[in-house]
């Protein structure tokens, strides 16, 4: 994962849209047991297809941080902004990173100044980090020419939430500067989803957080879905009941995942996992009473 920024950018074709993966970092081995405690080595060992890409022989889950970038209807779009550099975080895997993320974005053809739209699937620290960067000691928007967009239900949930200090810090350094620059738009996302522009739709996928959205792309009869955190790891295709320790509403999260997977199974929709290690993308197929991912490697 820690490849130099001049290596080819992984990408997938969705009709005439090219979706690029913008790598930030591979998360440390301790991430899996913390995030998905029910995905034990025994559970993982029961799914051959997870190896070697999505899990090591030791049963340790591989979990990445990356964004997706694409052009749709003339708009240059980035979905989620990772952990960010130099952020003060309680989680040591997220604390004070120094990655080449902006260089990778530029290498993919998306220099930060060129981005038109930043979609935030939800407001967790590993999805909003590159909203801002430090300039002369202050956090300023990384994408000053972009509208940033998240679900109204998501922003309002956190506005009413009794935040611990670490979360307040995240809002201070990664959300408030965007709001103060008047770059944040809140979107009402009804049950049937919200169309942003032709070929781009937000799909309500609550549970992990109340206003969580997945992002659907469509072009020329082809469809792709960017998961955000309604699915963290492919093991959850085989075991949709396995939730994340940080799900706000675990029952809702499980119900959302079950319904989403049922709707995707056997279709041509390309599932693009926001935390899935390479090959990152695939199709959902029936498997052993649940599902598995049939990987679609990047071009
Ligand atoms: Zn996440």
pLDDT tens per residue across span 188-237: 999 999 999 999 999 999 999 999 999 999 999 999 999 999 999 999 99
Q: How far is the CA of 231 from the centre of ligand 1 (A)?
A: 9
Q: What is the pLDDT of residue 126?
A: 98
Q: Tokens for 37?
A: 């405690």
Q: How far is the CA of 180 from the centre of ligand 1 (A)?
A: 24
Q: How far is the CA of 150 from the centre of ligand 1 (A)?
A: 15
Handedness of CA 105, 108, 112, 115 (dihedral sign): negative
Q: What is the pLDDT of residue 8?
A: 83
Could you tell me which residue, 7 or 155, shows the higher pLDDT?
A: 155
21 lies in a domain?
Answer: yes
- Report the side by side order of strands in the sheet with 117-119: 11-14, 17-26, 64-72, 75-79, 117-119, 147-151, 184-187
Q: How far apart are CA 202 and CA 214, in angstroms?
A: 6
Task: Quickly state the pLDDT bin for 1 (edges 50, 70, 90).
Answer: very low
6 lies in a domain?
Answer: no
* pLDDT > 70: percent of the chain: 98
Q: What is the pLDDT of residue 5?
A: 54
Single pTM value for the model: 0.97
Domain count, the chain: 1
Quote the mean pLDDT of the chain: 96
Q: Where are the beta strands (DSSP E) in the chain?
A: 11-14, 17-26, 64-72, 75-79, 117-119, 132-135, 138-141, 147-151, 184-187, 194-197, 200-204, 213-219, 222-226, 270-272, 281-287, 290-295
203 lies in a domain?
Answer: yes
Q: How far is the CA of 269 from the centre of ligand 1 (A)?
A: 22
Which of 237, 236, 149, 136 is CA-nearest to residue 187?
A: 149
Could you tell me which residue, 198 or 4, shows the higher pLDDT?
A: 198
1 lies in a domain?
Answer: no
| Burial class for 268, CB neighbours closer than 10 Å (0-12, 13-18, 19+) | exposed
Return the CATH number at 48: 3.60.15.10
Q: How far apart are CA 1 and CA 24, in angstroms?
A: 8
Q: How far is the CA of 239 from the centre of ligand 1 (A)?
A: 19
169 lies in a domain?
Answer: yes
Q: CB within 5 A of ion ligand 1: which residues? A: 126, 229
Q: Which domain holds residue 191?
A: 11-295
47 lies in a domain?
Answer: yes
Q: What is the pLDDT of residue 6?
A: 61
Q: What is the pLDDT of residue 4?
A: 54
Q: How far is the CA of 46 from the centre of ligand 1 (A)?
A: 25
pLDDT tens sequence across 160-179: 999 999 999 999 999 999 99
Q: How far is the CA of 220 from the centre of ligand 1 (A)?
A: 30
Q: What is the pLDDT of residue 69?
A: 98
Q: How far is the CA of 228 from the centre of ligand 1 (A)?
A: 7
54 lies in a domain?
Answer: yes
Q: What is the pLDDT of residue 165?
A: 94
Q: How far is the CA of 230 from the centre of ligand 1 (A)?
A: 9
Q: How far is the CA of 73 from the centre of ligand 1 (A)?
A: 27
pLDDT tens sequence across 110-151: 999 999 999 999 999 999 999 999 999 999 999 999 999 999
Q: How far is the CA of 246 from the centre of ligand 1 (A)?
A: 9
| Burial class for 293, CB neighbours closer than 10 Å (0-12, 13-18, 19+) | buried
């Amino acid at each position: 994962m820690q490849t130099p920024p001049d290596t080819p950018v992984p990408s997938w074709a969705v009709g005439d849209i090219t979706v690029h993966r913008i790598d930030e970092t591979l998360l440390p081995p301790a991430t899996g047991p913390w995030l998905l405690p029910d995905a034990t080595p025994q559970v993982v060992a029961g799914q051959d297809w997870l190896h070697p890409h999505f899990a090591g022989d030791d049963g340790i889950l591989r979990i990445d941080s990356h964004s997706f970038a694409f052009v749709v209807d003339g708009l240059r779009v980035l979905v989620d902004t990772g952990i960010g550099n130099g952020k003060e975080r309680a989680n040591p895997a997220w604390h004070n990173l120094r990655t080449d993320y902006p260089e990778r974005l530029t290498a993919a053809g998306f220099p930060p100044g060129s981005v038109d739209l930043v979609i935030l699937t939800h407001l967790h620290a590993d999805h909003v980090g590159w909203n801002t960067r430090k300039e002369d000691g202050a956090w300023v928007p990384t994408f000053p020419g972009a509208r940033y967009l998240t679900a109204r239900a998501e922003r309002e949930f956190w506005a009413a939430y009794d935040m611990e200090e670490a979360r307040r810090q995240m809002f201070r350094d990664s959300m408030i500067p965007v709001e103060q620059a008047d770059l944040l738009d809140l979107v009402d996302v009804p049950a049937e989803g919200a169309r942003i522009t032709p070929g781009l739709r937000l799909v309500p996928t609550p549970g992990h957080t109340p206003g969580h959205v997945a992002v659907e792309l469509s072009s020329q009869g082809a469809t792709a879905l960017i998961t955000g955190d309604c699915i963290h790891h492919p093991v959850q295709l085989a075991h949709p009941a396995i939730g994340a320790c940080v799900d706000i509403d675990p029952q809702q999260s499980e119900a959302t995942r079950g319904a989403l997977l049922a709707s995707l199974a056997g279709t041509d929709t390309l599932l693009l996992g926001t935390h899935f290690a390479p090959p990152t993308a695939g199709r959902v197929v029936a498997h052993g009473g649940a599902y598995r991912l049939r990987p679609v490697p990047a071009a």
